Structure 1
Amino acid sequence: MSSGVYERSGVKLHYRVSGEGPPMVLVHGLSGSGRWWRRNLPALTQHHRVYSLDLSGYGAARRQRALSVRESAALIASWLEAEDLHNITLIGHSMGGHICIRVAAGYPQRIQNLVLVCASGLLKASAYRTALNLPRALITGRKRFVPRILTDALLAGPLNLWRSASDLLKDSVLDCLPQITARTLVVWGERDALVPLPLGKLLAESIPGAHLTVIPHAGHVVMVDAPEPFNAAVLNFVDGPQASG
């Protein structure tokens, strides 16, 4: 595994690269980091060159100001151009899915497949009410992952978390969903307490040709709660049944 940093206008995007094959880009959610995909990388890197991003304000980029959804989308699009990546499978979780929607709608020429994992783009709630659901979200998810969630949240800091949460709750993607031309898979945890399943169904219905996969018993961090079904769903969608194992 190698790592890199892309900088534009003084803002840095950190990423790790592993595997070989068609490009796959992973974008983490609010309070997360690229390490949230570690249970998925062994399967995904068998078929793809996988880029795991750390957004500004998070993970390895935690010393920076967190960007808005639209600013993050523009930075990622600029990085994709700098890396000259094409026919990309773009995968985003929660806030990362929200950002990926903006990337796919605004820069369709580079995105072949879009995978939205419990994406936040249609969530309508106050930041305070969303925060109240966090304990329930921790309870419904994999308990052994709680230390990683808390560690990454502490590293990001309350100001970045509040800035990101406030911005994403104000940015509805409903108007840009019909513009998405990439093949789209929407993946949701059946027990998601932060972004409820009905929003996943609405998201899938609003994107032309999108497919919805619901993973039983999984919570909001579905790729951690149920990595094997998640990996199989993604690889089956992107590469066909022979790749999912």
Structure 2
Amino acid sequence: MRFLEFRARGATLRYDVTGQGAPVVLIHGLSGSRHWWRHNLPALSAAHRVYVLELAGYGQARRHRALGVRASAALIAAWLDHLDLRQVTLIGHSMGGHIALHVAAERPERVRHLVLACASGLLQGRLSRMALRLPRAALTGRLTFVPRILADAIRSGPRNLWRSSSDLLKDSVQDLLPNLTARTLVIWGARDALVPVALGRLLAAAIPGARYAEIPQAGHVVMVDAPERFNTLVLDFLREGEQVPA
């Protein structure tokens, strides 16, 4: 797959586009890539124009230095401006959800819907403690996806993973949440061993009007563990939003 590129301030964002309709932007999480959305892309692109991002330091952009969550958000915000995308739905997983929160705060006039899947925005603590959760987090999810997780982590490399992990644990979105204007859906895997369910409930409670959905038997990579349920929740949420004035 040949990705398109957007460059600004010395940083590069890679993306692919498929489908037609209102824009949906998919932002992967730590050590992720476009492959993490392969069970969701067909359903979403059947009704929407879907932009699949690969962040600097990950996937096809693995040779780049990873950016922090705020720098990544600023780059995505500039990309939205460059393409003049409006009425956007941001769907972010884990670190991608963390980044999406900052983008929604920076560009409220462009972001209409926000879907946060096991987002890391309220996650705090020591990096070593989070690292200890990773094996359990992998084993509580779909085991057939573990090779993809490992392959993408190896491609990203320890330096990029360390930079991103350290940065997201230092950054809190707490002060942003009360002022968000995007319609928000928070989706969590009930078996998430990396970002606890309690943080998902707190996140939803702190965002005005946010809806919360928990998927039993799903772990941290909720859109892979329960793709049909995830897709249904997202598409129903977006269809309902079409009835709400912008």
Normalising TM by the smaller chain, what interval? over 0.9
Structure 2 CA distance for aligned equivalents of residues 72 and 158 of structure 1: 19
- 3-state SS, counterpart of residue 195 of structure 2: coil
Q: Which runs of 5+ in 2 are unaligned?
A: none
- 3-state SS, counterpart of residue 212 of structure 2: strand
Asked if 1:22 is matched to 2:31, the reply is no
Q: Following superposition of structure 1 onto structure 2, how do residues 123-142 of structure 1 map, counting pairs within 5 Å?
A: 123-142=123-142
Structure 2 CA distance for aligned equivalents of residues 240 and 229 of structure 1: 16
CA RMSD of aligned residues (A): 1.3
Q: How many angstroms does 1:2 deviate by?
A: 6.8
Q: Percent identity?
A: 63
- TM-superposition CA deviations, 1:186-208 (whole Å, max 9, x none): 00000000000000000000000
Q: How many angstroms does 1:125 deviate by?
A: 1.5
Structure 2 CA distance for aligned equivalents of residues 107 and 9 of structure 1: 18
| 1:169 equivalent in structure 2 | 169
Structure 2 CA distance for aligned equivalents of residues 4 and 238 of structure 1: 26
Q: Which runs of 5+ in 1 are unaligned?
A: none
TM-score, with length taken from structure 2: 0.96
Asked if 1:122 is matched to 2:151, the reply is no
The 4+ residue runs of structure 1 with deviation greater than 3 A are none
| 1:217 equivalent in structure 2 | 217
Q: How many angstroms does 1:173 deviate by?
A: 0.5
Structure 2 CA distance for aligned equivalents of residues 241 and 59 of structure 1: 32
- TM-superposition CA deviations, 1:54-112 (whole Å, max 9, x none): 00100111100000110000000000000110000000000000000001112100001
Output the amino acid matched with 1:93: H
| 2:44 equivalent in structure 1 | 44
Structure 2 CA distance for aligned equivalents of residues 138 and 65 of structure 1: 25
Q: Following superposition of structure 1 onto structure 2, how do residues 1-245 of structure 1 map, counting pairs within 5 Å?
A: 3-240=3-240
- 3-state SS, counterpart of residue 5 of structure 1: strand
Structure 2 CA distance for aligned equivalents of residues 37 and 24 of structure 1: 12
Structure 2 CA distance for aligned equivalents of residues 107 and 129 of structure 1: 33
Output the amino acid matched with 1:11: A
Structure 2 CA distance for aligned equivalents of residues 46 and 213 of structure 1: 23
Structure 1 CA distance for aligned equivalents of residues 17 and 64 of structure 2: 21
- 3-state SS, counterpart of residue 6 of structure 1: strand
Q: How many residues align?
A: 242
- 3-state SS, counterpart of residue 3 of structure 2: strand
Q: How many angstroms does 1:241 deviate by?
A: 10
TM-score, with length taken from structure 1: 0.97
- TM-superposition CA deviations, 1:115-151 (whole Å, max 9, x none): 0000000011211000000000111000110111001
- TM-superposition CA deviations, 1:4-49 (whole Å, max 9, x none): 1101122110001111110000000001012110000110011100
Output the amino acid matched with 2:201: K
Q: Is the 8 A contact 1:2 1:18 kept in 2?
A: no
- 3-state SS, counterpart of residue 133 of structure 1: helix
Structure 2 CA distance for aligned equivalents of residues 192 and 81 of structure 1: 34
- 3-state SS, counterpart of residue 12 of structure 1: strand
Structure 2 CA distance for aligned equivalents of residues 198 and 177 of structure 1: 16
- 3-state SS, counterpart of residue 31 of structure 1: coil
